[in-house]
């Protein structure tokens, strides 16, 4: 057997690709020649060391590839998380704006800011009934009936009662129609002569309606957006 054939036989043995017949021939040669047997064993040990080193190198490369592939994924995940967080904050702020500056919310807030016990109507039993029914209707957000009840209260010389009635009517108009230019002008004139605590609450309401956040963002952007979107939806 030539040296080349012997080397091919040893290589097949080291690679675990040798068949049973060739393996038997190789073992017979190793048994017959101790020097050859020692050479084969040394080659086998060297092969194991090289294979182990190669496996380590492959594992290191795989880890490097995995890390490189994972980095863009993490970047995309963080980008998506940041995007959804911004969308959530934008929607939350938009919902807060739409609720906080809605005419009904502003009217209810100003209405509840003045305790009911601040005004006592005792002139006439009918006036008391109108007042209470108007208060109940307002709390139930039935602003049309509330305004009718308040406007049905007979005129009185008590300026405090007159101011409270007018204040509640203005709040009903705000909830129904929003702060129109005519309504703002009327509230502004009313607030100058209104008694406390109505005057303070009226000034607060005017301050909110005339604030840049309300005029520029709510009326300038939000209401125009809703107005333009509604026809498209319909």
Report the sign of the C-alpha dihedral through residues 58, 60, 63, 69, in that order.
Answer: negative
Does this model's pTM top 0.85? My answer is no
Assign 231 a pLDDT band (cuts: 50, 70, 90): very low
- pLDDT at 227 (0 to 100): 47
Instruction: Encode pLDDT of 155-207 as tens digits.
Output: 888 888 889 999 999 999 999 999 999 999 999 999 998 998 999 999 999 99
Instruction: Encode pLDDT of 32-82 as tens digits.
Output: 888 878 887 877 778 777 777 777 887 878 777 766 666 665 657 777 888
Angle (CA) 32 25 16, round 5°: 115
Q: Does residue 139 surpass a pLDDT of 50?
A: yes
Contact 180, 216 (CB under 8 A): no
| Rounded mean pLDDT, 131-157 | 92
Contact 132, 162 (CB under 8 A): no
Instruction: Encode pLDDT of 121-132 as tens digits.
Output: 655 666 788 888
Q: Does residue 208 surpass a pLDDT of 60?
A: yes
Q: Is 139 helix (H, G, I), strand (E, B) or coil?
A: helix
> CA-CA distances (angstroms) from residue 92 to 44, 53, 225, 228?
70, 57, 16, 21
- pLDDT at 99 (0 to 100): 82
| Rounded mean pLDDT, 17-28 | 81
- pLDDT at 148 (0 to 100): 95
């Amino acid at each position: 057997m030539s040296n080349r054939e012997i080397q091919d036989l040893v290589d097949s043995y080291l690679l675990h690709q040798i068949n049973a017949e060739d393996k038997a021939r190789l073992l017979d040669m190793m048994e017959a020649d101790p020097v050859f047997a020692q050479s084969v064993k040394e080659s086998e040990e060297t092969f194991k060391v090289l294979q182990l080193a190669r496996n380590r190198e492959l594992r290191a490369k795989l880890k490097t590839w995995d890390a490189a592939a994972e980095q863009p994924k993490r970047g995309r995940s963080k980008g998506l998380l940041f995007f959804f967080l911004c969308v959530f904050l934008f929607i939350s702020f938009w919902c807060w704006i739409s609720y906080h500056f809605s005419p009904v919310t502003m009217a209810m807030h100003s209405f509840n800011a003045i305790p009911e016990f601040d005004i006592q109507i005792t002139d006439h039993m009918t006036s008391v009934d109108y007042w209470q029914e108007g208060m109940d209707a307002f709390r139930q957000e039935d602003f049309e009936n509330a305004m009718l009840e308040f406007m049905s209260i007979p005129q009185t010389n008590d300026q405090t009662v007159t101011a409270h009635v007018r204040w509640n009517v203005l709040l009903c108009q705000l909830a129904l129609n929003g702060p129109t230019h005519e309504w703002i002008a009327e509230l502004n004139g009313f607030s100058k002569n209104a008694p406390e605590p109505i005057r303070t609450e009226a000034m607060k309401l005017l301050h909110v309606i005339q604030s840049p956040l309300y005029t520029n963002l709510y009326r300038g952007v939000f209401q125009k957006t809703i107005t333009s979107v509604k026809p498209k939806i319909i």
